[in-house]
Chains A and B, each alone.
With several copies, the nearest count.
Chain A
Amino acid sequence: MNIRFTGFGGQGIILSGVIFGWAAILNGKNAIQTQSYGSSARGGACKCDVIIQDSYIYELVPTGNDILVAFSQPAFEKYKNSLLKNGLLFYDSDLVRTDSFESNSFSISATDLAFKEFGQKLFANIIMLGFINSKTKLINAEAIEESIRQYVPSKFADTNINAFRLGMKLN
Chain B
Amino acid sequence: MIREKDKIEIYIDEGLCKGCDICIELCRPGVFVKSEKLNSRGYYVPVPASMNKCTGCMICELICPELAVIIKKNELVKEVV
Residue ranges of A at the interface with B (Cβ–Cβ < 8 Å): 8, 11, 71-73, 94-95, 97, 111-112, 121
Contacts and interface: CB of A to CB of B under 8 A. Distances in A.
A111 B37 CA distance: 11
A8 B43 CA distance: 12
Contacts, number: 19
B38 A112 contact: yes
Interface string B13-43: 0000000000000000000000001101110
A111 B42 CA distance: 8
Contacts of A11: 42
A94 to B, nearest CB: 5
B interface bracket (residues with beta carbon within 8 Å of A): under 10
Given A11-B42, A94-B42, A95-B42, 14 more contacts: A8-B42, A72-B41, A72-B42, A73-B40, A73-B41, A95-B38, A95-B40, A95-B41, A97-B40, A111-B38, A111-B42, A112-B37, A112-B38, A121-B42
A112 B39 CA distance: 11
Nearest to B40: A73
A94 B38 CA distance: 7
Interface string B30-66: 0000000110111000000000000000000000000
Nearest to B43: A121
Nearest to A112: B38
Contacts of A94: 38, 42
